[in-house]
Amino acid sequence: MNKKNEESTKNVEETIRFTVVFIISITVLLGVIESRSSLSEFTRTMLSVNMLLFFLSDLPYFIQALIMSLRLKVCFQKLGIKITFKNALLSHLAGMFFSDFSMGRTGYLAAALPVETSINKSLGVVSTTIAVDAIFKGVMGGICILIFSILFFQYEYAFAAIAVSIFMAGGGVLFMLYVWREIDLLEKIAVKIPLFGQRLSVFLKEWRESIKELESFIPVLFLFPLVGLILRGFEWSILASACGFNLSVPLAMLMHPMLTILRLIPFTLSGLGVFEFALITLLPQYPQSSLIAFGILDMINNAFVDVIGLPFMKKAKIK
């Protein structure tokens, strides 16, 4: 009964948190629409979106999902864990769905749950890919922000964003060093926790070992987000055309690492409202209602693909 009560309380807390975040996001978004455009103009823009191009923009994103699923499959094979490409794809999509609405994309850890192996090993694999992505996005984000600032803005506009990029990349590097240098601080703390401390300590050790097995493969893993960035450039270019303005693939690639950092803001629903405001600030030459529509549809079309993997979570088996 106590366990049921705890689960019920947790569900209520999560519902309340989501509701608060949703209200904040909608409030910010409506504020951006009213201050930068108008509700009627925004509505007309949304109704005029080219739906064929909107759905076509999902194609590069889905190709990226296939490539990242291959990454997941290969990583598990490196640890001697057999997983079909179909299961890797569905696990990846499920993880992406949760990462769309989590701080620092850590929701992608959910991709470890459906894999039929030790949860310690599967979390080790997935957390390694998250660390690699954080380093890549942090470094590329900083580079792209600097280039964009040199081309279009004064340098001081870039300082805060570059600091965030350094934080992301630094966090990923520290994570890798923590594992490879065999710093056992967490294990020493965990073992002192009453009731479940010993089990947690064992989990951390096995989790660390599974990550270390991928150490030699890390350089190859950086190629996957690089290919993904190119595909996201095509995705954004097509989506922009659907919204009624032209965005070249190189410019889309330059902007993607900068703007997706905003998707990580924890008190908004995937950066809703803040993302659109940043678009308007960075691209003042384009119709503001079209930019707002672009930002909203970017979130929607990603979730549209990622939700395919959600039913797969029901088959999750933790051993």
Instruction: Give tens-digit pLDDT for 23-34.
Output: 888 888 889 898
Residues contacting residue 163 through CB under 8 Å, at least 6 positions apart? none
Q: How many CB atoms lie within 10 A of CB 215?
A: 12
Could you tell me which of 267, 302, 236 has the C-alpha nearest to residue 96?
Answer: 302
Please check the confidence at residue 52 and state whether its pLDDT lies above 90: yes
Could you give the C-alpha distances from 268 to 28, 238, 272, 276, in angstroms and in order? 9, 26, 6, 12
Burial class of residue 217, CB neighbours in 10 A (0-12, 13-18, 19+): middle
Average pLDDT, the chain: 80
Which of the four pLDDT bands, split at 50, 70 and 90, describes residue 61? very high
| Residue at 35: amino acid letter | S
Q: In terms of pTM, does the model score above 0.85? A: no
Please give the residue that has the higher pLDDT: either 274 or 186: 274
Q: How far apart are CA 50 and CA 187, in angstroms?
A: 54
Could you tell me which of 305, 153, 129 has the C-alpha nearest to residue 231?
Answer: 305
Which of the four pLDDT bands, split at 50, 70 and 90, describes residue 319? very low
70 within 8 A of 83, measured Cβ to Cβ: no
Which of the four pLDDT bands, split at 50, 70 and 90, describes residue 168? low
Average pLDDT for 209-236: 89
Which of the four pLDDT bands, split at 50, 70 and 90, describes residue 63? very high
The confidence score (pLDDT) of residue 69 equals 93
Three-point CA angle 95, 214, 164, nearest 5°: 55
Which of the four pLDDT bands, split at 50, 70 and 90, describes residue 194? low
Q: 70-102 pLDDT, tens per residue?
A: 999 999 888 888 888 988 998 899 888 887 766
Which of the four pLDDT bands, split at 50, 70 and 90, describes residue 268? confident
Please check the confidence at residue 7 and state whether its pLDDT lies above 60: no
Q: How far apart are CA 258 and CA 248, in angstroms?
A: 16
User: What is the DSSP annotation of the chain?
Assistant: -HHHHHHHHHHHHHHHHHHHHHHHHHHHHHHHHHHHS-HHHHHHHHHT--HHHHHHTHHHHHHHHHHHHHHHHHHHHHTT----HHHHHHHHHHHHHHHTTSGGGGGGGGGGTTSSS-HHHHHHHHHHHHHHHHHHHHHHHHHHHHHHHHHHS-GGGGHHHHHHHHHHHHHHHHHHHHHHTT--HHHHHHTTSTTTHHHHHHHHHHHHHHHHTTGGGHHHHTHHHHHHHHHHHHHHHHHHHHTTS---HHHHHHHHHHHHGGGG-TTSSTTTTHHHHHHHHH-TTS-HHHHHHHHHHHHHHHHHHHGGGGGGGGG----
